[in-house]
């Protein structure tokens, strides 16, 4: 995988942040947000092979997985109108908007068997950084804000997200179903 120097520098600095204290989520999110903000402030580094939309579903391209699975970096490529189901992550995450726009609607499970409660929608524009984690709110649905163009975001997760057991939720009942996402560009 040939990635540009600016991305390799980002990985080196993110590794230092995690090395300095993998259990200090707040420090990782604060330092990582600043670092990811610098990366997505310029949209000229993501190779085209990691920016290709699929006509039926969003793409989740693995750009880097820490050798010890402490963090991973992924480009999400959203075709027009594509969206995720309501889901969680079970680890901290930073989402940096690179190109286009996304909506992120957060949810909470109020009681078993009851409809989930929407906590509101947020629009992510280029350069904007969002945070999620089990400690600050981890359940959301993400969608391309556009019906006529591609949007791309860069995600940094506190683990190798393509290997992590997570959940999708039924919005009407709060029922959860376990899944492991894998990656668009990595096949077992």
pLDDT, average across residues 42-55: 94
- Write out the two tokens for 35: 């670092």
Strand partners, 155: 74, 95
Averaged pLDDT of the chain:
95
- Write out the two tokens for 9: 């520098």
Handedness of CA 69, 15, 40, 93 (dihedral sign): positive
Q: Are 37 and 96 in contact (CB under 8 A)?
A: yes
- Superfamily assignment of 5-42+54-179 in CATH? Jelly Rolls (2.60.120.10)
pLDDT of 29 strictly over 60: yes
Rounded Cα distance between 109 and 17, Å, is 32
Confidence of residue 67 (pLDDT cuts 50, 70, 90): very high
Per-residue model confidence (pLDDT) at position 188: 43
What pTM was estimated for this model as a whole? Answer: 0.95
3-class DSSP state of 30: helix
Residues 6 or more apart whose CB falls under 8 angstroms from that of 45 comprise 3, 4, 6, 7, 39
pLDDT, average across residues 96-119: 95
Domain boundaries, the chain: 5-42+54-179
């Amino acid at each position: 995988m040939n990635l540009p120097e600016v991305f390799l520098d980002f990985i080196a600095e993110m590794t230092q942040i995690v090395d300095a204290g993998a259990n200090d989520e707040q420090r990782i999110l604060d330092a990582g947000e600043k670092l990811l903000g610098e990366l997505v402030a310029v949209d000229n580094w993501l190779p085209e092979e990691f920016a290709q939309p699929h006509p039926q579903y969003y793409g989740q391209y693995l750009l880097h997985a820490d050798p010890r699975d402490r963090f991973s970096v992924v480009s999400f490529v959203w075709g027009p109108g594509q969206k995720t189901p309501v889901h969680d992550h079970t680890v901290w995450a930073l989402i940096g908007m690179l190109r286009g726009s996304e909506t992120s609607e957060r949810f909470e499970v109020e009681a078993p068997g009851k409809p989930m409660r929407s906590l509101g929608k947020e629009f992510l524009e280029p350069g904007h950084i969002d945070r999620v984690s089990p400690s600050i709110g981890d359940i959301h649905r993400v969608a391309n804000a556009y019906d006529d163009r591609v949007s791309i975001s860069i995600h940094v997760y506190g683990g190798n997200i393509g290997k992590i057991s997570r959940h999708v939720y039924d919005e009407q009942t709060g029922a959860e179903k376990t899944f492991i996402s894998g990656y668009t560009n990595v096949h077992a």
